Chains A and B, each alone.
Chain A
Amino acid sequence: MTRGDSANGGGASGQQQGAGKFPRKRFYRARAHSNPLSDSHFPIPISPDEVNLSQHYPRYFPSDEGEGRQGDAAVPRIRFADVGCGFGGLLVGLSTLFPDTLMIGMELRDKVTEYVKERILALRASNPGKYDNISVVRTNSMKYIPNYFRKAQLSKMFFLFPDPHFKEKNHRRRVISMQLLDEYAYVMEEGGIIYTITDVEELGEWMRSCLEKHPLFQAIPEEEIKTDPVVKLLCTATEEGQKVARNGGHTFQAIFRRISFKEE
């Protein structure tokens, strides 16, 4: 919501430097928060069919042969979503861990999205053949998740260090809530895993209690969490996580599995 086009600030200067150069954060100064409640003024795909994958993953979807493989089961789909991806640390970490899985970061702040875009382009240019499976989109995922993903499309969703929104009046701005979990459950396949982490104890409890109350999610046993290679990245890969570690702070995780609905 900071501006309508990318014709000023860091976005343009990043492009001028050409691919291969890493963007510098100082050119992408952004607010720490953005209001998820306000009306959005950026383009939103009307339905998941309109998500332009060739723009996000050019190596997987060469734009010239887009027509030929429609309806084919072999067409790769986005499987991971990092909601509120920030500066994209987790995506970069996951990219090499799951080199054949398409994943997308979703971020509301325009400048931050620009930064991640440039970062991915630079990574691709300096590591040919790598980082082709990650991308970023500027969107309000609290409003438009179903516009991007089909039912049961995702196998992992990440909510790392979301805004805590302490005031009770602002609790509805939290990215994890009973209502929004309905939508996340819709886009996740059965057995898919939702990862949440925060350094704010109050929010950690909130996210855990929402997930515990929700009939479509079930806590994952501790032993299983320990063997999950993704969990280590939650703290180490993200900028926010590194900051917490630097300051010696605590983190609170809630990792749950999407289960099928059982009515008692």
Chain B
Amino acid sequence: MEDTGVEEAEVSGGAEFAPALVAADPHGHSVAVAVGPELRVFDLKAGSAVSLSDDSGGGSHSDAIRAISFSANGVLFASAGDDKLVKVWKTDSWCCIRTITSEKRASAVAISNDGLYVTFADKFGVVWLVTMGESGGEQELTDNKPVSILGHYCSIITNMKFSPDGLFIATADRDFKIRITLFPKKPLKGAHEIQSFCLGHTDFVSCIAFTCLSEGPSFLLSGGGDSTVRLWDYIKGCLLDTCQVSDKVGELLEPNETEDSNLAVADICLTNDGSLVAVAIKSLNGVMLLACDLIAKKLSFLKVITMEKCYIPTSLSSSFSADLLWTVMGASNMPNQATSQLFTRVKIIPHFKKDPLALCDHVPAVLEDSEVPHGEKLLLALQGSLDIAKQEEVLASVLAALKVSMHKMLVKKHYSEERREQRKRGRNDKKIKK
């Protein structure tokens, strides 16, 4: 937070690119990709693209979707974005059952483990809660409008997750903080009791993920703009281990790309048992795998799965049942990009599990397009096109945009001393008395 580097600070208004997102249903029934205002869902059971329907009476997404999430049991799905809409879908019919209008742009969304509540965070750092389901007299009282349950003071919340036991809600923000709050039984009155703060990141926190062991304690992992992945005892708010991913990536990249700002962790994804961590890093064409030893509480570097030159995953997801790691690359809100061109590129890493017997030779590699489950049908549904050549072109521009996108939104703008003085002079509350 020192006043050191002076970056070009004035950013043209619309330059906030929204990276494409991917989410896999926990049971492996379906997979969803969001790019810009478009939500693309593929039913892996039926092997066909899903056409979404809307019973909620609200509008459909009209601006970039910033967060998508399945509920723990896979029954519900939520999407939220810059158009200030939060939509909740039933995944059996892929019908939108609720559209909630937020006051501000939504930046994160989560569904409580029992599926009773949907929480979303807005760009002012406030977390709102709505009651789902028809049961419960409590909901009538509030007119079913979102109620604010907690807030990060004037900070963008970048990610929000429920702990596997459902007792806590974790929120990460751009002010380096992760807050662990007790999720009360009657959350409509707000979540006021803070269990801990996980402090240690030296830049924005971009993503968090809980390990979900069936027994034993659960832990929290986080990735951030300081290009670290960290392991936390979130009950105590205590940092257990830090893995500096930039050290490992450094040698793989061109020297001009190794600036720390380009090596922010974009997303992390865990295997079912939490022993393997996939890390998407801005500027890295591929996925880094870390081993996470929950007994020794250590993170260690395993390997980098390199992908083609211009494929930098923007989002990762896996489901409990299938050992597939879904990755997607794409962005919207690009300058000179027509909305019809919302291409994404989907790639799948198979055998995403830690196999102690075959760690060395049975290593995950990337599936060829022809090996993807349901092949072209799936790719066409999720990518929007199969025309590789045209895609390459789009992805190249996406690539350039991605390098700056997260930082433009999340990093504090630095102004030079002269620039600040100049801005002050322009303020009309300061009369010049000299």
Contacts and interface: CB of A to CB of B under 8 A. Distances in A.
A142 B175 CA distance: 12
Interface in A37-72: 37, 39-44, 46-48
Nearest to A150: B237
Nearest to B186: A263
B350 interface: no
A186 B181 CA distance: 10
B194 A39 contact: no
B192 A46 contact: no
B193 to A, nearest CB: 5
B150 A182 contact: yes
A19 interface: no
Given A37-B154, A146-B199, A179-B126, A43 B194 contact: no
A40 B2 CA distance: 9
Interface string A168-189: 0000100000111111011000
Contacts of B412: 39-41
A180 B126 CA distance: 11
Contacts of B124: 172
A182 B192 contact: yes
B200 A39 contact: no
Given A44-B1, A263-B184, A215 B192 contact: yes
A263 B185 contact: yes
B3 interface: yes
Contacts of B413: 39
A185 B193 contact: yes
Contacts of A40: 1, 412
A46 B200 contact: yes
A185 B154 contact: no
Given A151-B196, A185-B194, A46 B202 contact: yes
A120 to B, nearest CB: 24
Secondary structure call for the B interface:
loop
A46 B176 contact: yes
B353 interface: no
A148 to B, nearest CB: 10
Nearest to A143: B153
Given A143-B154, A146-B199, A263-B185, A178 B1 contact: no
A162 to B, nearest CB: 14
Contacts of A146: 177, 179, 197, 199
B37 interface: no
B175 to A, nearest CB: 6
Interface in B133-174: 148, 150-151, 153-155
B200 A47 contact: yes
Contacts of B176: 46
Contacts of A102: none
Contacts of B189: 215
A211 to B, nearest CB: 12
A4 B200 CA distance: 25
Nearest to B124: A172
B190 interface: yes
Nearest to A141: B153
Contacts of B190: 178, 215
Interface in A228-254: none
Contacts of B175: 143-144
A151 B237 contact: yes
A142 B153 contact: yes
A179 B194 contact: no
Contacts of B184: 263
Given A40-B1, A179-B150, A263-B186, A46 B126 contact: no
Given A4-B417, A143-B153, A143-B154, A182 B194 contact: yes
A147 B194 contact: no
- Which residue among A179, A185, A216, A263 has the maximum number of chain B CB atoms within 10 Å of its CB? A179
Nearest to B173: A143
B298 to A, nearest CB: 20
A182 B199 CA distance: 17
Tell which of B1, B237, B414 has the most Cβ of chain A within 10 Å. Answer: B1
Nearest to A181: B192
Contacts of A172: 124, 154
Contacts of B414: 41
Contacts of B2: 43
Contacts of B193: 182, 185, 215-216, 261
Interface in B190-210: 190-194, 196-197, 199-202
Contacts of A183: 153, 194
Contact of A147 (B186, B199, B417): B199
Given A178-B190, A179-B126, A183-B194, A143 B1 contact: no
A214 interface: yes
A111 B182 CA distance: 39
A185 B148 CA distance: 18
Interface string A82-104: 00000000000000000000000
Contacts of A181: 192
A263 B191 CA distance: 11
Nearest to A47: B199
Contacts of B181: 182
Interface in B395-434: 412-414, 417
Interface in A111-160: 142-144, 146-147, 151
A227 B124 CA distance: 41
B1 A4 contact: no
A135 B8 CA distance: 37
A46 B185 contact: no
A4 B194 contact: no
Given A42-B1, A46-B176, A47-B199, A261 B192 contact: yes
Contacts of B177: 146
Nearest to B198: A47
5 contacts: A37-B154, A180-B151, A182-B181, A215-B189, A261-B193
Interface of A: 4, 36-37, 39-44, 46-48, 142-144, 146-147, 151, 172, 178-183, 185-186, 214-216, 261, 263-264
Given A48-B199, A263-B186, 6 more contacts: A36-B153, A42-B1, A182-B150, A183-B194, A214-B192, A261-B182
Closest 9 CB pairs of A and B: A179-B151, A47-B199, A186-B194, A146-B197, A39-B412, A261-B193, A182-B192, A37-B154, A41-B3
